[in-house]
Structure formats: structure tokens, C-alpha cells
Amino acid sequence: MGKPRPKELVELVLSRFTPKDPAVLLGPSLGEDAAVIDVGGGRVMVIHPDPISGAVEYLGYLSVHIPANDVAVCGARPRFLLDVIQLPGGGVDVLNLITSQIAEAAASLGMDVVGGHTEFLPGLPHPLITATAVGFARRGDVVATGGAREGDYLVMTKTAGIEGTAVLSTDFKDLLRDRGVEWEAIRSGALMVREVSVVPEALALASKGLATSMHDPTEGGVLAGVAEIAYASRVSIDVHVDEIPVSDVTVKVCRALGLDPLKMLSSGALLATVPPGKLDESLRTLTSIGVRHSVIGRVVSGGQGLVRLVSRGYVVGEIKEPYVEDEVIALWERVSR
């Protein structure tokens, strides 16, 4: 389950799709969040698809915000959405729940659902939504994952494991209760799904030209997100793991299940690299829109694609490739055997 390893992804997928059209400014690339296409007049289209599966409780909601995040971190406001909804046979009530959530979430971002496909597939084990978000920006405002530079500070918004906590608190709520987590904490964890959007903070930083790189950490969590920035930017990054904020609810859920909150689905926690001269303005900008934030690391050298995990001044670990096994997906694998 989950993404292929980087070697497989490069050899079997990315190496076979090299765009020939000069309008493609940013195409398939490991670590990048979306494609960027020149549409003329100094404007670009930013487009990204994402598959969302799992418990239906918040499936429609996530199917809007996750791809919208990947468009916003490129500096583009998400405007349009296309959904492919595939459901086990006869799931009319499930379809009603999913589409009502999609409508609500899209409206909250000012997006229009402009197309897609819906079908019932008998034998499908659970609902699957593949959503494609589309946005537009000025060509000079585009922010790539691969834009981090030596000396930049690494800023993170909100807390680690937001998406993972919401998923675990819905998909594994009975297991959490059996392991002593109180219902109030489980309900609070499920409601963290309302924090998964990074669109406001991403657009706020991009509109002022404050970030050299932005990334929405999904599979593999915050640590995987940092590794993808380092790889795409061809730099090394020191991450001060003690500075990464984790909510009390996430800590409870992860302790009960034996998971690492820094290695699980983390949409909602924007990662941005910011030059030293723009750090104060970046933090003021995030404060002005009511978004919590922390400085969790720094780009330290060029050319290595390495992440060093630092605690109390000591290097306590390293990530040498843009891949971290996601704790939520690994848990799903264990329980499905």
C-alpha cells in the first residue's frame, strides 16, 4: 500500500513521461506538488489530482482540500475541481454524504465543481475518489517545492499529523477506545479534519513573495515532506524535531497505537522555506491570519538531498531519500492481513 519507492517511481513512471510541449513549465517530478502550464499572457495553470480512500465519514471533504492544497502551495488559488467517484454497488446513501461534503468544502474555498465521473463498482472494497484541482496564477508568482536555498529557515504551520489523526479517529475509533482513549479525545481527533486546508496560509505567503518553497506533507508526514523539499531543491535540511509541535490529541492517538506522529499523513501542516531577510515578515503574515506556526529547521548546504534530525544540538537520525513509510498506511496493511 502507498506510494512506490523513489527508485521505482523514477524508473517505471517519471522517466517515461518527459513533456515535449514548451508550455509545460513544471511537469512530472519527484517531490513537486503539481504541474504548471503556461497559458499565455503571463499566466499559468496549476493542476493536480489526488486519490482519497478510506472511511466515508469525511471522504468528500478530504477529496477537495487535499488536491486544493497542492495547487495553493504552488502559489495559485484553487478555482475548479473534477471528481471521479467510485463506490461499492448500491451505495446511494454514501454517494449523498460524499457529494454533500464535496459541495460544502468546495464552497468554503470558492471553488466550482466542473466535471468528473460517478459509478458503482460491485466488489470494490471501499469508496474511492480521485479529485483534480485546477488553479491559476501569474507566472512570476509560482512557488516550486524545489526552490529551497541554503540559509533559508523552515517554517511549519499548525501541528504534525493533523490528517492522520482525523483518519485514525474515524477509521480506528473502536480500536482506540479499546486501548483506553476516551471518546472525547477520539471525537476531537476526528474533527481535526477541519484543519487540513493550508490554502489560506499558502496564498498569504505566496502573494507577498515570502517563500522560496512550499509543500503540503501528506504520505510519510512532516519528515517525508521535508525530505521531498530537500530532494527537489538539491539541498540538505536540518530539522529540529523537538521544535515540531504535536497536539495533545495526536499524542494520545499515536501512543495508543504505537505510531510516530512525525511520520503520518500531515495535510494541514504547511511546510515553507523562507530566506532570513523575510522570516520576520513571514511570521507576522501568518499571525495576522490567525495561523499557528513554528520555525522547525534550516537549509544548511546544497547538493545532497539529505535531512538530518537534530535534538538538543545532536544529530539523532538521517533521512537519505525522499521516502518515509507512512504510519497510517502501515497500520492499515497490518490490520488487513
Confidence class of residue 303 from pLDDT cuts 50, 70 and 90? Answer: low
Sorting pLDDT into bands at 50, 70 and 90, what band is 270? very high
C-alpha cell of residue 72: 495553493
User: Measured between alpha carbons, how far is 224 from 264 in angstroms, rounded to an integer?
Assistant: 9
Is residue 229 assigned to a domain?
yes
Distance CA 246, CA 270 (A): 14
Name the band, by pLDDT with cuts 50, 70 and 90, for residue 43.
very high
**In a domain? residue 56:** yes
Q: Are residue 127 and residue 166 in the same domain, yes or no?
A: no
Q: Which of 73, 66, 303 is nearest to 210 (CA)?
A: 73
pLDDT at 269 over 70: yes
Residue 53 falls inside a structural domain: yes
Cell of 132: 483534480
Question: What would the DSSP string read from start to end of 153-191?
Answer: EEEEES-TTHHHHHHHHHHTHHHHHHTT--HHHHHHHHH
CA atoms within 13 A on the CB side of 281: 13
Q: Is the pLDDT of residue 312 over 90?
A: yes
- Which SS3 state, helix, strand or coil, does residue 77 take? strand
- Among 91, 114, 141, the domain-final residue is 141
Asked if the structure places residue 246 within a domain, the reply is yes
* Percent of the chain's residues with pLDDT above 90: 82
Beta-sheet strands, E only, within the chain: 24-26, 35-40, 43-53, 77-87, 112-120, 128-138, 153-157, 213-215, 235-240, 271-274, 293-302, 307-311, 314-319
184 and 253 share one domain: yes
Pair 263, 226: CB distance under 8 Å: no
Domain boundary residue, one of 116, 141, 166: 141
pLDDT value, residue 334: 83
CA distance readout (Å), 236 to 9, 128, 308: 22, 36, 8
Query: How buried is residue 38: exposed, middle or buried, by Cβ count under 10 Å (0-12/13-18/19+)?
Result: middle
* 302 located within any domain: yes
Which cell is 324 given?
A: 518515509
Assess if residue 255 is contained within a domain.
Answer: yes
CATH number at residue 122: 3.30.1330.10
The reported pLDDT for the residue numbered 155 is 98
Q: How many domains does the chain have?
A: 2
Burial readout 156-192 (b: 16 or more C-beta within 10 A, e: otherwise) = bbbbbbbbbbbbbbbbbbeebeeeebeeebbebbbeb
Three cell numbers at 118? 460517478
| Statement to judge: residues 151 and 235 lie in one domain | yes
Instruction: Tell whether 300 and 152 lie within a shared domain.
Output: yes
Q: Is 1 within the bounds of a domain?
A: no
Q: Are residues 20 and 128 in the same domain?
A: yes
Residue type present at position 41 = G
Check whether residue 120 and residue 201 sit in a common domain. no
pLDDT higher than 80, residue 1: no
115 and 152 assigned to the same domain: no
Name the residue range of residue 221's domain: 145-336
Q: What percent of the chain has pLDDT over 70?
A: 98
Q: Are residues 307 and 206 in the same domain?
A: yes
- CATH number for the domain including 288? 3.90.650.10
| pLDDT class of 230 with cuts at 50, 70, 90 | very high
pLDDT tens digits for range 120-158 = 988 888 899 999 999 999 999 999 999 999 999 999 999
| Residue 65 placed within a domain | yes
Arithmetic mean of pLDDT, 25-46: 93
State the average pLDDT for the chain.
Answer: 94
C-alpha cell at 109: 474555498
Instruction: Say whether both 100 and 10 belong to one domain.
Output: yes
The last residue of a domain, from among 86, 114, 141: 141
122 and 179 together in one domain: no
Report, as an integer, the average pLDDT of 157-166. Answer: 97
| Same domain (yes/no): 136, 167 | no
Q: Quick one: 119 and 217 in the same domain?
A: no
Average pLDDT over residues 60-83: 97
Q: What is the b/e burial string over 23-34, where b = at least 16 CB atoms within 10 angstroms of the residue's CB?
A: eebbebebbbbb
Instruction: Provide mean pLDDT across the span 175-198.
Output: 96
For residue 288, how many C-alpha atoms fall within 13 Å in the half-sphere facing its CB? Answer: 8
